[in-house]
Structure 1
Amino acid sequence: MGLVLVVAEVAAGALLALWLGLRGLARSRSADMPVDKAPAPVDPGTDWTPAIAIGVFALVVVCLAVALLRGRWHWAGGTQVVVAAALGAMVLASVVEGSSRNPPEPAPTWNSPPCRSGGDNSE
């Protein structure tokens, strides 16, 4: 029973990772749009969706572990506790990584003086 649940959780985790990856790809693509076609995007800040999604998934696994341990399925419940601990570590790592990012430095606003060498741009 524990092995079947772990395989099912790996499949569900792969689908969750695929969804989060595609979501992140779409989010990064929207920030790279040309300026003439869309207004400049507002700084979106930290994206907490991956941490929340993995946290909810870990909570489901914890509930399964509690149900299995109360039903005296010790090995299956124990494997679920290990999976829940791994997911909890992933959530904590995601939160620490998201909060430690430094914002990008703003673009310089100083315009350099024009070149006075008498040449053009083809030099």
Structure 2
Amino acid sequence: MGWLMHTWRESAARREIAALADRLGRVGAAVGTLTPGGLATVDQHAAAIRDILTFGAGGVGAVQLAQYARGVQDAAREAGWTPPEPQDAGGDWVVLRLAAVCLLASAGVAVGAELDPALFS
């Protein structure tokens, strides 16, 4: 029964990340539409997320990425954040962080598997 729950969580997490990517696209921050400079910034956020999840949560998978994105969104809302207008999305920390989650998921960076922390040293 454990494998079934794991499969369900993975599937739910992938759907959640896909929905997040869709919402980011509506504010003009889809990973595929980023400028080279914007992509470099998102890549830096992705590296930070990889480190946080690898060393804190023990792995970078779809479930961990979805949980991290939920945490970022919850903390942002509690701080009074609202989604920016499309013209302002490229400079918004929350949007960049969430785009980095989507980048990691779309790149298949160990989604569904754990990473060896030695890979990042």
TM range (shorter): 0.3 to 0.5
> What TM-score comes out, normalization by structure 2 length?
0.33
Answer with 1 or 2: which has the greater Rg: 1
> What TM-score comes out, normalization by structure 1 length?
0.33
Q: Which has the higher contact order (CA 8 A, sep 6+)?
A: 2
